[in-house]
A and B are shown apart, each in its own frame.
Chain A
Amino acid sequence: AQKITQTQPGMFVQEKEAVTLDCTYDTSDPSYGLFWYKQPSSGEMIFLIYQGSYDQQNATEGRYSLNFQKARKSANLVISASQLGDSAMYFCAILSGGYQKVTFGTGTKLQVIP
């Protein structure tokens, strides 16, 4: 079984500041992938970033970077230079079970303050 834990139900960040959203995971699969998605109030899920368990370098996508620490089983999302439009729910997810099953965490609500 796989499990994703997001311990921060809500976070505040000042506009233009960086913020880290925590995510830890547990899986017995030797190969897996980690995702972060953003869900605005409108409901759609927006892909942000992906990290494979065998990737040597931390993934980056524009203002998003994933701080992957395999030994600690953590995959924190770092958003640099926060913008008001970043206010949303953020979900961490693990892809495992032979890369077939995605399990989502409970999410972190991020609010960017002007």
Chain B
Amino acid sequence: GAVVSQHPSRVICKSGTSVKIECRSLDFQATTMFWYRQFPKQSLMLMATSNEGSKATYEQGVEKDKFLINHASLTLSTLTVTSAHPEDSSFYICSARDKRLAGTRHLYEQYFGPGTRLTVT
């Protein structure tokens, strides 16, 4: 199967500190990785799209300097929330597209990680 992991699953940090969240595709190479945030009982909002070796494309309204995305390899992307504030508390979910599916009818499927719950106190 196609498994995506996220670490940590839960993190509590103090206001003003930075937090790094990792997203890994465990058994496949990811052409593209996506980062979403989800507020309680709400839908997923796309934050940014990243391709390995290139800069992330951020959605309108998402601060690039606050949410740093690094896509270091075909299996790892990181999201760093810099100078976190209580309003950044949310559920952050990453997803990835499997490079092996290119050219098939499944090429647009995204495999989601289990999510990271961030609480900023």
Pairwise interchain contact A50-B106, C-beta atoms closer than 8 A: yes
Majority secondary structure, B binding face: strand
State whether the Cβ of B8 lies closer than 8 Å to any Cβ in chain A: no
A42 to B106, alpha carbons, bound, how many Å? 25
State whether the Cβ of A103 lies closer than 8 Å to any Cβ in chain B: yes
Interface string of A21-55 (1 = CB under 8 A from B): 00000000000010101000011111100101000
| Most chain A CB inside 10 Å of its own CB: which residue of B42, B105, B110, B113 | B110
Measured between C-beta atoms, what is the minimum distance from B84 to chain A in Å?
20
Residues of A within 8 A of B115 (CB): 43-44
Task: Pick from A43, A47, A100: contact of B91, CB below 8 A.
Answer: A43
A104 to B45, alpha carbons, bound, how many Å? 7
Pairwise interchain contact B91-A106, C-beta atoms closer than 8 A: no
Residues of B within 8 A of A37 (CB): 112
State whether the Cβ of A110 lies closer than 8 Å to any Cβ in chain B: no
Pairwise interchain contact A91-B91, C-beta atoms closer than 8 A: no
The interface of chain B, by Cβ under 8 A from chain A, is: 32, 34, 42-46, 49, 91, 93, 95, 105-106, 108-115, 117
Residues of A within 8 A of B111 (CB): 47
Residues of B within 8 A of A42 (CB): 114
Residues of A within 8 A of B113 (CB): 44
Size of chain A's interface in residues, with CB distance under 8 A?
22
Measured between C-beta atoms, what is the minimum distance from A71 to chain B in Å?
22
Pairwise interchain contact A105-B112, C-beta atoms closer than 8 A: no
Pairwise interchain contact B43-A45, C-beta atoms closer than 8 A: no
A99 to B107, alpha carbons, bound, how many Å? 10
A1 to B93, alpha carbons, bound, how many Å? 23
Pairwise interchain contact A50-B43, C-beta atoms closer than 8 A: no
Residues of B within 8 A of A47 (CB): 109-112
Pairwise interchain contact B110-A102, C-beta atoms closer than 8 A: yes
State whether the Cβ of A63 lies closer than 8 Å to any Cβ in chain B: no
7 further A-B pairs in the complex, CB-CB below 8 A; given A45-B93, A100-B49, A106-B42: A33-B108, A43-B93, A45-B95, A46-B112, A50-B106, A91-B43, A105-B43
A95 to chain B: closest residue by CB: B108
Measured between C-beta atoms, what is the minimum distance from A27 to chain B in Å?
14
Residues of A within 8 A of B114 (CB): 42-44
